[in-house]
Structure 1
Amino acid sequence: MNVALWCAQILLAVVFTTSGIMKSTLPKDDLVARGQTGVQFFPTPAIRLIAASELLGVLGLILPWLTGIAPILTPIAAVGLAIVMLGAMTTHILLREPKNIAITVTIFLVCVFVAAGRFAG
């Protein structure tokens, strides 16, 4: 189970690092063109805040469990990222984007898996 959780944590770290870097550096129009269509409803400062949340969440997913320092922060980070994905799901539902809804639901479920697995053990 530990190996599956680490694989999920690394997968989430890659996904949210990529998304966070894109949201923190690209203009809104470029993000929409690259498939992050949900950002069109938000002003640039809000997009940058979401990016910061994603990047901090990545640190929380990996470092506490890896170092053994405050490991409770890892499942808490997974819950935080799951909440970010709930917002993304809502946005994609409003935009009627089935593909993006499926992707965000999948990422949400991986976040829940990590949170439940790390809270349990």
Structure 2
Amino acid sequence: MRGESAVDARRAGRFADDQGAATVVAVAILGAVVALGVAVVGVLGASVAAQSAANAADASALAAADAVSGAVAGEPCTLAGDLARRNGATLLECRIEGSAAVVSVALALGPVRATASARAGPPGWGG
């Protein structure tokens, strides 16, 4: 029995000094939460950039289509470029296909670069 109590005493000594274990777990959880937060912010930033690029492309295509139809004065692709710049984007491509306008824009939002395309023309126009 005496040998058993010495073993029990060693085991108790080994496991009795577990102070700080909760700190290690808390730091691990905090690190995981911070990593998840950084990932979420990155995904949301990319989503905002993509939506902003789509909005700029839509507005640019509509402006160009209005110029093609004669609703507004001006050269269609010049108007499309102006509207893209007002929305923080750069006009990459502008072409007129019959009565419709097709544009592509790029937008940089921080480290994220998004591109989008849009087509606008009269109702029922099939190209």
Structure 2-normalised TM-score?
Answer: 0.31
Structure 1 or 2: larger helix share?
Answer: 1
User: Which of 1 and 2 has greater Rg?
Assistant: 2
Structure with more of its chain in strand, by fraction: 2
TM-score by length of 1: 0.32
Higher relative contact order (CA 8 A, sep 6+): 1
